[in-house]
Structure 1
Amino acid sequence: LGMARNEDFATLLAEGMRRYGTNYASSRLSNVQLRVFEEAESHLAAYAGAEAALTVSSGYLAGQMVVKTWQGNGHFLYAPGTHPAVWLETPIPSEPDYTTWTTHLIARIYAEPATDWVLVCNSLDPLLARRHRFDWIRQLPSGRAFTLLIDDSHGFGLIGREGAGIYAELTVPDHVRLVVVSSFGKAFGIPGGVILSDRATVERLKRSPFFGASSPVIPAYLHAFLRAGELYRQARAQLSANVRRFAQRAMPTGLFQTFPDYPVFYTPVNDLYAHLRERNVLISSFPYPSPQDNCLTRIVLNSLHTAADVDRLADLTEQYATQ
């Protein structure tokens, strides 16, 4: 949403720094408590449709706090492509992709004697720009207890009602505990992480040593976040317009894969990167998540791109497709 270069957001951040300083390295368990944390977490819970929310210093810490807290309390199953932030150990993929994993998931659960399960996945595939389906949740057997841990780092702020993310979109049965973790930085421009769940789960996480021993989100950023609602709405509207403008011309070329209103356009055609770079347009193209992995080439739009930027990109994309 372009908050890193938004001048109005920078003004709010400067206001927060004058009030709280440039950093705050104290424990959240300290006898000195700042109201801004509780205010931000109450706002996040209401916005996302969760009973409770917790902020921490990074999306990675959010994921690790949850998996470490549930370590030894359930049998972990990971969907392919799940972000490393929620790895307990390096998972060995049992299936080639998310769809195949969900197809075989229920049978695999019935075949195992475990009664407590922790199912871990992403809300979407940000690399190949695909939405994930979650209708399989209704098939989870009621005789078992499940924790469904979803990393929504690439959806929170973008997908769902007013960008509220995956949490409110899911209806889970009583024997399923839903926990959503997310980076706070990707869409919202806040260096931190977020955990969304029921109140009892959030209270349990507050008792974790990972929470008490770690530094919190810088309060000045939360101050800005609480006052930036209209800036986020404007940026989301601009981003949506940019996405529609580019998709209208780019999708007929057959080069890209995406889903409606998502600002990422994946292409298997890595040569597109060189074509655009030679014409002074730089897109995302690099091996991920490690240097040994295959190159991923994507066009990623943001709210700072102008109509002229988008049209230039579309012109060059059409030029490549027809050469």
Structure 2
Amino acid sequence: MSAIFYIDQLPNRTIDHDGQAYLFFSGTAYLGIPQHPDFHQLMAESMRRYGTVFGSSRNGNVRISVYEEAESMLATRIGAESALTLSSGMMAGQVVINWLQSQHYTFVYAPKAHPALWHAPTVTLPQLAFADWTAQLPGQLSALSPGPVAILVNSLDAVCSDYYDFDWINQLPDNRPITLIVDDSHGLGVLNNGRGIWPTILQKSVDKPASVRIVGTGSLAKGMGLPGGVVFGDANAIQSIRQTAFFGACSPMPPACLDAFLRADALYAEGQERLQRNIKLAEHLLLPTGLFHQASGYPVFFTEHDALYANLLQKNILIYSFAYPTAADRANTRIVISAFHEVADIEWLAESIFG
């Protein structure tokens, strides 16, 4: 098990621990928004107007308009008809699960489906490669009892840095209502110029049966740098979710964060540009080692060489290496590139690996 680093500051391109400075190549702040001083300034201004939290139901008789304004911008940015924010990515997933359960859906899980989409504390996930799972999916669906089905998948494998093929959506059966739920926590802000997986899903599903509906969920705390989550899809589905008791009882995400988001377009564009530059450099320097697997253009470099963690730690470089999603799982070792990294950081990382 990797040593646990307790620190008293937000990780940036470096962290300080016991008087030592370490280059930090972990975490999920892909665009470097939480560390950006200009975003801190936006947040300070927004908090003076909106405070730290809105202690009320979004469905109450007093409503703060910044929620609808930010949700409209999120929907536009993603390319969906409508969007709804919640206090976390986990809550975004669970509000959808609660909505589907109330309609007596049967749940079908893809390999590695995120716990935010689980309908029970534990579920049995298929131990198959994603392509093998999609190949046997039609048979699995035909064996189910009549009634609506929810298919729950991640937008990509962010742990092992693999893209998923979604061509199979068009081959789904048309003899029952099917809702495909895609968790895009690790795609929002990163894929498709920050729009996440939704443009790809729309492209891949142009010939899907009319009985198939697609809903996206995700954390905003990763690429977007916001403490909250989002559900997005067609307007009817989003309105139906908003009317549930589950959503009505949820405390919303802080309105100040959404106000800052509305004013941060330039920072997101800057983060995207820096991230893509850093990814290209890392691909050029790291992939020739033969140690890594990486989805082209994605900021995660996965390795099965777990000893790399300890080797780099001796050179004051801290990378990702811990069991996920539960403590019983094997450790996953990977390097995460962020917009806050400097060229020299990535060059030193590569030199340290070769050395």
- Structure with a larger share of its residues in helix: 1
Misfit runs of 4+, over 3 Å? none
d(CA) in 2 for partners of 1:213 and 1:145?
A: 28
Partner residue in 1 for 2:163:
131
d(CA) in 2 for partners of 1:227 and 1:94?
A: 42
Q: Deviations over 1:153-200 (max 9, x none)?
A: 01111002x210111222332221111000011011100000001111
The letter of the residue matching 2:172 is: L
Partner residue in 2 for 1:77:
108
Partner residue in 1 for 2:184:
152
Is 1:245 the counterpart of 2:275? The answer is no
Partner residue in 2 for 1:55:
85
Decide whether the 8 Å contact of 1:24 with 1:216 is kept in 2.
yes
d(CA) in 2 for partners of 1:143 and 1:195?
A: 26
Alignment of 1:58-137 (within 5 A): 58-71=88-101, 72-89=103-120, 90-137=122-169
Decide whether the 8 Å contact of 1:75 with 1:114 is kept in 2.
no
Is 1:19 the counterpart of 2:55? The answer is no
Decide whether the 8 Å contact of 2:113 with 2:125 is kept in 1.
no
Decide whether the 8 Å contact of 1:65 with 1:205 is kept in 2.
yes
SS of 2:34's partner is helix
Is 1:193 the counterpart of 2:225? The answer is no
Identity of aligned residues (%): 43
d(CA) in 2 for partners of 1:238 and 1:250?
A: 18
Q: Deviations over 1:259-304 (max 9, x none)?
A: 1211110000000111100010000101111111101000011111
Question: Which of 151, 175, 178 is the aligned partner of 1:143?
Answer: 175
Decide whether the 8 Å contact of 1:106 with 1:140 is kept in 2.
yes
SS of 2:317's partner is coil
d(CA) in 1 for partners of 2:125 and 2:61?
A: 45
**Count of matched residue pairs:** 318
Q: CA RMSD in A?
A: 1.1
Partner residue in 2 for 1:39:
69
Is 1:165 the counterpart of 2:215? The answer is no
SS of 2:159's partner is coil
d(CA) in 1 for partners of 2:305 and 2:51?
A: 47
Question: Which of 248, 251, 261 is the aligned partner of 1:215?
Answer: 251
d(CA) in 2 for partners of 1:288 and 1:143?
A: 37
Partner residue in 1 for 2:268:
232
Decide whether the 8 Å contact of 1:67 with 1:86 is kept in 2.
yes
Partner residue in 1 for 2:316:
280
171-180 or 47-56, which deviates more: 171-180
Q: Deviations over 1:207-231 (max 9, x none)?
A: 1112111111101110110110110
d(CA) in 1 for partners of 2:144 and 2:89?
A: 31
Q: Deviations over 1:125-180 (max 9, x none)?
A: 011010111000011112221100010001111002x2101112223322211110
d(CA) in 2 for partners of 1:114 and 1:101?
A: 21
Structure 1 unmatched runs, 5+: none
Structure 2 unmatched runs, 5+: 1-30
Decide whether the 8 Å contact of 1:242 with 1:301 is kept in 2.
yes
d(CA) in 1 for partners of 2:74 and 2:235?
A: 13
70-79 or 49-58, which deviates more: 70-79
Is 1:7 the counterpart of 2:29? The answer is no
d(CA) in 2 for partners of 1:76 and 1:5?
A: 38
d(CA) in 2 for partners of 1:293 and 1:108?
A: 26
Is 1:202 the counterpart of 2:238? The answer is yes
